[in-house]
Amino acid sequence: MITRRATFSASHRYWLPELSAEENQACFGACSLAPGHGHNYELIVAMGGGLDPDGMVLNLSEVKHAIRSQVTAQLDYRCLNEVWPEFDVSRPEGRLPTTEALGQAIWTRLAPLLPLVGLRLYEQPTLWVDLLPPPTALASAPASSPHAALSSPAPMEAFLSIRTHFAAAHRLARPELSQSENEAIYGKCARPHGHGHNYLLDVTVRGPIDPRTGMVCDLAVLQRLVDDLVVEPFDHTFLNKDVEHFATTVPTAENIALHIADLLTGPIAASGARLHKVRLQESPNNAAEVFAEVPQLEMRPAALEALAAV
């Protein structure tokens, strides 16, 4: 598997003609305002295959040309609503150029040319989407034409992620153990007065992309749930004393991530998406991941790992 990175700058506006100005404002907030707004997008493309006699999966010059001709040359410094026909919302089949919908449109253009196994599109450092082919696409791709099965319009996996942060203190200690016993297990983290971290929190949801809004879920609702259920209750607290759950549970990174997943799973399901993963980075050297579902991703986690590593 190899990856290739590309960047482009583009603007977009979220506005559906069948909605009134008030309804568009209610649905899409500031994103509905004319004339739109822009982002510096970052695209990461993951491709798979065996090595050729030259020791390469693909000729990177050809990969670079495909991405430039099919994506960046068409989108850079353009308004997404006006470039590609799938974003013409005056047509019934048009959809808004959200991060999710844009990623899927890029996939359909690259799939006939490259053996895609995954694609990540950052709209900004705190918002990105991962796309994977349907499980049957990878399984059914004929050896003579490795790209053919991946270029079909079959439903794709879409994983939408948002990143936020909070600051909190904690102490790692089990009440039934002595101080020396706790220090033997938790080291400096068992010191009586605790210590703090600036936590980075990534929340990933999974679901189909709506054919009209272009969204996996209402992004504003997702952000509000994370803020209301996690960031506000946890930020600038001593977790052991201020968050009831950790009065009886040691607030390790693993337990904090697990509790966040428990808090979010039901409300996110009620919003129409599925919580896929919570990743909590406690320090540059320490992070915990909790998977809230057990999807049948077969070989595809390798594609997600490759995208995340770039």
Write down the pLDDT at residue 185: 96
C-alpha to C-alpha distance for 231 and 140, rounded to whole angstroms:
43
Q: What is the tens place of the pLDDT at every residue in 220-264?
A: 999 999 999 999 999 999 999 999 999 999 999 999 999 999 999
Read off the pLDDT of each residue in 273-295 and give the average, rounded to a whole number: 92
pLDDT tens, position by position, 175-221: 999 999 999 999 999 999 999 999 999 999 999 999 999 999 999 99
- Tens of pLDDT, residue by residue over 37-72, are 999 999 999 998 888 888 888 889 999 999 999 999
The number of helix segments (H) and strand segments (E) in the chain equals: 12, 10
pLDDT tens column, 91-119? 999 999 999 999 999 999 999 999 999 99
Q: Is 41 exposed, middle or buried (0-12, 13-18, 19+ CB in 10 A)?
A: buried
Question: Mean per-residue pLDDT for 137-166?
Answer: 62
pLDDT reading at 266 higher than 90:
yes
Average predicted confidence (pLDDT) for the chain = 90
Q: Is the pLDDT of residue 271 over 80?
A: yes
The CA distance from 14 to 24, in Å, is 8
Q: Tell me what pLDDT residue 307 has.
A: 63
Q: Which two tokens stand for residue 308?
A: 């995340």
The pLDDT assigned to 301 comes to 55
- Quick check: 139 pLDDT over 50? no
Residues 6+ apart with CB under 8 A from 82: none
pLDDT value, residue 302: 61
Q: Quote the pLDDT of residue 144.
A: 40
pLDDT of 147 > 80? The answer is no
Average pLDDT over residues 156-168: 93
Does residue 140 register a pLDDT over 50? no
Segments making up each domain of the chain, as ranges: 2-155, 162-291
In the predicted model, is pLDDT for residue 146 greater than 70? Answer: no
Do the domains 162-291 and 2-155 match in fold? Answer: yes
Give the start-end residues of each E strand in 1-63. Answer: 2-12, 37-47
Task: Round to whole Å and give the CA distance between 213 and 168.
Answer: 36
Mean pLDDT check: name the lowest of 133-142, 166-175, 257-266.
Answer: 133-142
Superfamily of domain 162-291 in the CATH hierarchy? 6-pyruvoyl tetrahydropterin synthase/QueD (3.30.479.10)
For 2-155, CATH gives 3.30.479.10
Query: Given this model, what pLDDT does residue 151 score?
Result: 39
> Would you say residue 157 has pLDDT above 80?
no
Give the Å distances, CA to CA, from 213 to 97, 120, 155, 242.
8, 20, 16, 39
Please compute the mean of the pLDDT values over residues 60-86 and round it to a whole number. Answer: 96
Q: Which residues are catalytic?
A: 189, 236, 282
Distance (Å, whole) CA 101 – CA 129: 9
